[in-house]
Structure 1
């Protein structure tokens, strides 16, 4: 099972996303050039030039016509996927840490960092009639977080009525966008939440945290259902769309990597059973921590983006589907 190695970024990968059909992979990295690749053969389709700094987040809409990116150059940009042109650029007061399209694709959300005297803020924008004047349009909704926390990951809830945010203090909150209020919050994690990803049907989501655990939550009540424990920080976690499996990616902190061997760093993708919380497989590959992980929408392969600047696409062997948890 030889993986596809997608080499095109000069610096660490920050996030990867599949489109709905799974034929394209979008990658963001610290080299300021988000890219798009064919997932079948790993060929690079194009690069989106326009950012001046690290690109922290990337998301593509339901129809694969628009892309949103958030960057350390204090801007959020919307792109035409096909032509690579910038549809609109929104200036921000600090780095944009998260950006997501809603399920319908009519709205998008992004959040800015707590920096330079500015509090962390969450914005909801309407992207239907987008043009170059979007930088002057006021957002549909703006939520300011309190002094202590900043948003580090974000998901849209059911029917585009709620937004779920993960914070640097380990808390997860759900916001009602119509009533503009916090509905619920939980503090099951003890450290930064690096990533959150929904299940295929949207009823659950998995969170990955620096406290060396990933947890499965109910997406409405925020009740913690399962916990998957490792010995290293977890940077990304995803739920298989076809099997009861959870994949975790992470590893030792990037700044400590030079002092250990690749074995000790635990840079493997790790597979846990969704229900039994037991680890049953590991896949080696990256020379450095895995920063982002995503399942293909058909569940037959998955992709990882690492601190080493590579995106690896790994197809599953036949034995993976035959495996039965005793």
Structure 2
């Protein structure tokens, strides 16, 4: 009994307190890290308040707020060096931003809500999808040019990503299908269908592995063959999962407000954390794997240490509550 009590105390002491990044006023629904740059790496958050925010990735310090959308922002991403940002919103537009100045470079009109955006690896194209069920590819250097129509789904598109170093595109939609496309021929080259709605997909750093989150399931797929390798069950309905860049861990979150960490090789649950006051909509690892970020219905972004030993403490990130645009 004494030994058990000591272990309980040690485990409790090891539990970390995440950094809480406030400032948003509605649910946070998407997060994206940049790659490492000379100035570190950066984090962008999409929120239903219509005001995506840029933060310093290692510390969560607020850098600025992108002002211009007139509806909920459903998707946000940074290019590899964090000089450009892209967002998709309920005002029927996808915006390309100067991430240093905070200015809109180009606004791409759509006919319905845009829920997914992705830069090509060389940052020459922007891929979009949403309630129109159509996949579009915009040439960034020619903002007035008509986009390439890559294809369509039978349901609203939730995620778009680039695979094979830009040689293919992968899309997931409410029709419960995940499809791979050839951007040159605009043909669907592979697909698989699932039994329940897809909540999230993510590619590994090398692009060889894809995580698929749906219902209470997280599955690991071979990206090239589009075949399932392994699958495990979450304790709750899962909304998002992310793979450590070195394939050490999977972190996931969902309906029960918790974050879960699993060993990638064994799929054993290593830990769980509860700090949010609402369902976790999105979780993503940083490019160095030292931390992961979560976004929730409670309107906060939280940063968690991957290897718990010394916690962050109770510091709060700068919120940017004055909504000052990003300074030059």
Q: Give the TM-score of the pair, scaled to structure 1.
A: 0.86
Give the equivalent residue in structure 1 for 2:152. 145
| Secondary structure of 1:196 counterpart | strand
Instruction: Measure, in 2, the Cα distance between the counterparts of 1:245 and 1:179.
Output: 36
**1:218 aligns to 2:222 (yes or no):** yes
1:142 deviation in Å? 0.2
Instruction: Measure, in 2, the Cα distance between the counterparts of 1:191 and 1:174.
Output: 19
| Secondary structure of 1:216 counterpart | strand
Contact 1:6-1:42 at 8 Å conserved across structures: yes
Give the equivalent residue in structure 1 for 2:240. 236
Instruction: Measure, in 2, the Cα distance between the counterparts of 1:5 and 1:295.
Output: 16
| Secondary structure of 2:126 counterpart | strand
1:233 deviation in Å? 2.0
Structure 1 runs (4+) greater than 3 angstroms displaced:
316-320
Instruction: Measure, in 2, the Cα distance between the counterparts of 1:201 and 1:316.
Output: 20
1:228 deviation in Å? 2.2
Going from structure 1 to structure 2, the CA distance change for 1:243 and 1:143 (only over 3 Å counts) comes to: closer
Give the equivalent residue in structure 1 for 2:265. 275
The one of the two structures with greater contact order (alpha-carbon pairs below 8 A, sep at least 6) is 2
Unaligned runs of 5+ in 1: 115-119, 252-265, 321-326
Instruction: Measure, in 1, the Cα distance between the counterparts of 2:262 and 2:306.
Output: 15
Contact 1:169-1:190 at 8 Å conserved across structures: no
| Secondary structure of 1:159 counterpart | helix
| Secondary structure of 2:184 counterpart | coil
Note the alpha carbon deviations across 1:53-84, whole angstroms, 9 max, x for none. Answer: 00010111112111110001101110000000
**1:34 aligns to 2:52 (yes or no):** yes
Contact 1:153-1:193 at 8 Å conserved across structures: no
| Secondary structure of 1:169 counterpart | coil
- The alignment of Structure 1 onto Structure 2 pairs a total of residues equal to 292
Q: State the Cα RMSD in Å.
A: 1.6
Unaligned runs of 5+ in 2: 1-15, 311-328
Contact 2:21-2:302 at 8 Å conserved across structures: yes
Q: Give the TM-score of the pair, scaled to structure 2.
A: 0.85
| Secondary structure of 1:42 counterpart | coil
**1:164 aligns to 2:170 (yes or no):** yes
Going from structure 1 to structure 2, the CA distance change for 1:245 and 1:41 (only over 3 Å counts) comes to: closer
> Which piece of structure 1 moves more, 158-167 or 9-18?
158-167
